[in-house]
Amino acid sequence: MRTHPIGTGPFKFVEFQPNEVTRVARNPDYWKPERPYLDGIEYPIIKNPATRVLALVAGQIDMVQPLGVQLTNDLKAQAPQTICEFVPLNSYTTLLISRTISPFDNRDVRSAMALSLDRNAFIRTLAEGQGNIGAAMLPPPEGGWRCRWRR
């Protein structure tokens, strides 16, 4: 299933070459008439995020995702015509501690730690101000001590 998936979506699987490319083609039997608009999509696999940015700037690819704030800033500097958009991701930044090791086995110590953390400073530092403060370790949008990148 992972190397030759099937499905009923707008595109049909064509080819997967590990660490190289995934190709899909328009599904002529798709339920929505005249969709999809494209005949196919080629997803080159470029592991290094900086290399993905260079490929986009060079016009070798049309889209990259996801990038951190710094690489997005680099991209905008190199290709100002590029549309850069931060959207919520199902990822978060969290601090986990062991509750079985002293002094963290003390609930009051853990509470004091939680109250002393400057969540806005985390967002300013890790996401250059481009994130949201979550409430709990839950999937977005309810919580997740996370930084979701956005512009």
DSSP 130-141: ------SSSSTT
H or E element that contains 42: strand 40-44
Instruction: Give me the sheet containing 40-44, strands edge to edge.
Output: 11-17, 21-26, 40-44
- Per residue of the chain (151 residues), what is the pLDDT tens digit? 777 888 779 999 999 999 999 999 999 999 998 899 999 999 999 999 889 888 988 989 988 876 777 788 888 888 888 888 776 665 667 778 888 999 999 999 988 988 898 888 988 887 777 777 766 655 555 554 444 444 3
Q: Which domains are delineated in the chain?
A: 1-45 (3.40.190.10), 47-84 (no CATH), 86-151 (no CATH)
Q: Is 61 exposed, middle or buried (0-12, 13-18, 19+ CB in 10 A)?
A: middle
- Two structure tokens written together for 137: 């370790």
Q: What is the pTM (predicted TM-score) of this model? A: 0.58
Please name the residues in contact with 142: beta carbons below 8 A apart, sequence gap of 6 or more: 135, 136
